[in-house]
Structure 1
Amino acid sequence: MITPDNWDVLLDPTPLPLEMGYERLDDGSLHIAARTDMHGCTGEMFEWWFRWRCDTQKYVWWHPIDHLSSTWAGTLSPDTHVGSEHIVVEKLTDLPATDLLIQFVGAEEFFDAETYRTARKRGEVSCAVVGRTGIGHEPPRTDDGQVLGGRLLHVGRDTEWGLAMRSHFYMGTDLPATGATPDQVAAAVPIELAQGLLAHAYNEFTFLSRILPGLYVAEHRDQIPPVAPW
């Protein structure tokens, strides 16, 4: 199992036991893994997309089936997605529309700092967008403001054909700390959630790979003059 205790394995490009699918962890929470080949994309493009902070129109461009609305809060620096909070309404495939909040944090909160730096230096990782997730637009938080509920980790690697994206989600992660039993945690995060999120994640980044390269080139044309494709 890939648990919060060994997330560093996501930094190694070697195929994992679970690259696409879901599993119930011992504490009752859910782990969902989705692998998406984002042809023509790079890790720089992917991290820029989250720094760009799409409004509702662009959020619908991203996933025209499931995405419904998008606003942002938190620390909105143009240089990093870390500290920002994405407030969204979206469907998870066949599940009803849900209010969600994603609080983006630094990679070092989830990974060993030295292991992460080494993976970036070697080119084994070219992007990492990670965060805490909560159900509702006012999810429970710790006293210092950390969102409680789940975790998401998007870890990508540049290849000759594009970006190999690993997306891993952990739903119900914080419930055991409240004293909930594994059965109670499992009831709160049913298997249908895993099924819906798995399909949603794969579709989401497949859709994004179709528009991201062109948007990145257009938005950076003053810094990186584009080259005509003929």
Structure 2
Amino acid sequence: MSQRPVLTPEERALSYAKYYDLPITPIPQEKLAILEGGPIDPSLALKIEDRNDLFLPGYLPCETGYCVMPNGTGYLANRTEMPGVTPEMFEWWFAWHGLNDMRYRIWDPEDHFYARQQNPDKVLDPSVPMREKTWGTVHHVLEDIGGGPDELILNFRYPHELGYDESKVGTPACATMMCANGHGPVPGQGVAAIMTHMVREIEGGIELRSRFWIGYGLVDGQVVKLLPDGVSVPPVVPMGLFAHNLKEFGHLAAILPSLYAEEKDRW
């Protein structure tokens, strides 16, 4: 467990600073068993070419797990139930948390350091619908997914830009979606990934179905494999990101209902 930095007086004065002090929500035992059980069979993974299968009713062969694919790319999936959370809350969270470092830090006080929205004017424009406040914006983040703090650039995209059927977003098939082309601070260096967080409403809340395809990126408007042929992502990479995803979204599920009630009108 990482040591949490002591807050400055300015940070401590923020209305949501109390969330920084909460213990991290424990990862459910059934998910820890998946993490500790090792990689899934790659044949159970959702190929990036089939990503629109996320809109199909029911569930795919594997909703929670990680692996290295036969072509060397990394993959992980995680389904998180979020009781008491609505799609609107989830959309608000993605818009809200990038406007102040502490907002990102309360998401995972042990591993998150900052998330800085590069397009705050769009987020703060009252004419922009809540889910679109994140679409088409860029977050610069610093987080630790197991190998020490890493700087990342998350280029959030409109779903159609990443090959999704955007007409299904806002329907029973998909209440909302956040997807991004992520890479290191220097494009072309380090490991890139396509990230998707897809939400469906369930009884009493929502389910978040996350997918990461490591080694892929967006080039000239097309999602392509960036990992050179013959090169393979080390298994520790998807495993570390999987463990981090289990931790951060389990904790977000626990804090989001009360955080939204208290902060939804404070931008």
Aligned residues: 207
Q: 2:140–2:154: 8 Å Cα contact kept in structure 1? A: yes
Q: Secondary structure at the match of 1:165?
A: strand
Shift of 1:36: 1.0
Structure 2 match to 1:85: 138
Matches within 5 A, 1:138-153: 138-140=186-188, 149-153=192-196
3-state SS of 1:139 partner: coil
> 1:60-209 maps to which residues of 2 (within 5 A)?
60-74=105-119, 76-78=121-123, 79=128, 80-92=133-145, 94-113=146-165, 116-118=166-168, 120-121=170-171, 123-135=172-184, 137-140=185-188, 149-174=192-217, 180-181=228-229, 183-184=230-231, 186=232, 189-209=233-253
1:4-43 map, 5 Å: 4-43=48-87
User: What TM-score comes out, normalization by structure 1 length?
Assistant: 0.81
Cα distance between partner residues in 2 of 1:23 and 1:4:
14
Pick closer, same or farther for the CA change 1:6–1:179 going to 2, 3 Å: closer
Quote how far apart the aligned CAs of 1:111 are: 4.2
- Tell me, in whole angstroms, the C-alpha distance in 1 between the residues paired with 2:156 and 2:236: 25
| CA separation of 1:167 and 1:177: change in aligned 2, threshold 3 A | closer
Contact 1:75 1:83 (8 Å CA) reproduced: no
Identity of aligned residues (%): 29
d(CA) in 2 for partners of 1:39, 1:76:
31
Q: Per the alignment, in what secondary structure is the counterpart of residue 50 of structure 1?
A: helix
User: Structure 2 residue aligned with 1:58, among 100, 103, 106?
Assistant: 103
Contact 1:76 1:83 in 2 (8 A): no
Give the SS at the match of 2:80. strand
Deviant stretches of 4+, over 4 Å: 174-179
Note the C-alpha offset of 1:174. 4.3
Cross-structure match for 2:31: none
Q: TM-score, normalised by structure 2?
A: 0.70
Whether the 8 Å contact between 2:168 and 2:174 is mirrored in structure 1 is no
Cα separation, 1, equivalents of 2:265 and 2:139: 27
1:84-116 CA distance string (max 9 Å, x none): 111111111x32221111100011123443xx4
Secondary structure in structure 1 of the residue aligned to 2:118: strand
SS state at 2:106 partner: helix
Return the alpha-carbon distance in structure 2 between the equivalents of residues 76 and 103 of structure 1.
16
Instruction: Give the superposed CA RMSD.
Output: 2.4
Name the CA shift for 1:201/1:76 in 2 (closer, same or farther; >3 Å): farther
The whole-number CA distance in structure 1 between the counterparts of 2:194 and 2:225 is 15
SS of the residue aligned with 1:168?
strand
Alignment gaps of 5+ in structure 2: 1-44, 219-223
- Asked if the contact 2:182–2:217 (Cα under 8 Å) also holds between the matched residues in 1, the reply is no
| Deviation of the 1:12 alpha carbon | 2.2
